[in-house]
Structure 1
Amino acid sequence: MKQGVVITPRVIHFEISAGDVARAKKFYEEVFGWKIERSEGSMEYWNIITGKQEEPGIDGGLMKRQGGEPGADTPIGTYICTIGVPNIDEYLSKIQKHGGKVTMEKRPIRGVGWYAYCLDTEKNIFGIMQPDTSVR
């Protein structure tokens, strides 16, 4: 680290662990239109490109889950990331159509927008949010 450089803690990458990588890959490609490609490295790892570099947001990775289903004894459980969407109702429908589940129906956040929690095909929880400053 360079002397004098201040680093502010913030999310710079996310990882999704999956029991069935192909199924998870298909889910995220079909629901959100993400580009998911196998990494050139030695471990089985897939790079997730969520959008254009000039747009806000981060990219991530997809890997085989270690230790079985998510739970207290699983070395890699979950870290909730929220995905911005233009229309929450449309995406809640797409999520269910592609094998995901809604775990908390959409709710308002006053002055911010609508949010909901869902499970992907690998039982990972994630959030989706539709910005809408008019929400009361």
Structure 2
Amino acid sequence: MARIVYFTIQADDVLRAADFYRNTFGWHIEKWGGEWGGTDEFYLIETGTEDDPALPGTLMKRPGKVDSQLLNAFMCGIESTAIDDDMAAVVANGGTLVSPKVTIPGVGWVAYCRDTEENFIELRQMDPEAA
């Protein structure tokens, strides 16, 4: 079975996006010393720690214009332990809320947001007691 091993976030303003993800979710983001996909604006993302590893990612300059307000990409979800706090952090760091927090009975809560680059984010807080 194939599995996801990393993710890529594309951005019009890579430094603004890096600040958003660092400040909102505490991710470690550092510039990679080479070129990839025709740009040297390429960064490595660590979403976990050595003690609590998580999916690694990359952040790169968007290669073209986004022509749609609809989701036109592969959207990843971010696990939250405090979804209300994370929703507030998204807004405080320049992102926007797309939907209110919704309960999924027996699963938890989910909310959709956009980052500073108009990419969709799913925030999900797991809680089997949610009703």
Work out the CA distance in 1 between the residues paired with 2:45 and 2:73.
Answer: 17
1:23 maps to what in 2? 16
Provide TM-score, normalisation by structure 1. Answer: 0.85
2:94 maps to what in 1? 99
2:105 maps to what in 1? 110
**Superimposed CA distance per residue, residues 87-126 of structure 1 (whole angstroms, 9 cap, x where no aligned partner):** 0001101100111011111111121111111000000001
**Superimposed CA distance per residue, residues 10-49 of structure 1 (whole angstroms, 9 cap, x where no aligned partner):** 2111000000001000000000000001112233210000
CA RMSD of aligned residues (A): 1.6
**Superimposed CA distance per residue, residues 39-91 of structure 1 (whole angstroms, 9 cap, x where no aligned partner):** 1223321000001144353010000001123539xxxx521100011100011
Work out the CA distance in 2 between the residues paired with 1:70 and 1:94.
Answer: 27
Q: Quick check: 104-113 or 47-56, which moved more?
A: 47-56
1:22-41 to structure 2, matched below 5 A, reads: 22-41=15-34
Amino acid in the other structure paired with 2:52 = E
Residue 49, structure 1, aligned to residue 42, structure 2: no
Q: Which runs of 5 or more structure 1 residues have no equivalent in the other structure? A: 1-7
Residue 88, structure 1, aligned to residue 83, structure 2: yes
Provide TM-score, normalisation by structure 2. Answer: 0.88
1:71 maps to what in 2? 68
The number of residues matched between the two structures is 125
Amino acid in the other structure paired with 1:82 = G
1:123 maps to what in 2? 118
